[in-house]
A and B are shown apart, each in its own frame.
Chain A
């Protein structure tokens, strides 16, 4: 079974600085999707970024980028120019490719609580 591990229960960063959140996963599949979700105090889950395993290029979305290392099964999230609104729980997640009959289920890590200090 696939597993997702986030080894940092909590992280903090100064406003305007850069922070990297770690995520590793375990799978025997060669094709899959990885995600970072943000859960602010409102508890609404928000998709931050998505990476397709067959793409070597790291996904970016404005101030958010990932470092995807397929061989190492590592998928870290970098937040640049951190803002107060970035404070939230961040969850790393894995999904099989549905197009090949995989499950639509998301497998989540335990989350990292990010604090942004003014």
Chain B
């Protein structure tokens, strides 16, 4: 299994600002994923981040709003840009291990005022 850490664990931000969330894995992985979990909801995939290529975004999510970096095989960042209260969610990163089993970080709880 993989051990994943995220920073920050939580933050309270003002409308119109941006927040960058970091995700660090203890081993090299090809595929990393970013999810959003709105209050009381299940997980929705934002994008898949592969090292050395552009992130692949799901329908309803765009690069200008959620730019992603993947500089190496153990690290990725997700930025939530020009935030509004609707962006208040838990943001989770995950990795695919052997057999495509997914492992998750502890999440970043974001509140936008």
The judgment on whether A and B are partners is no
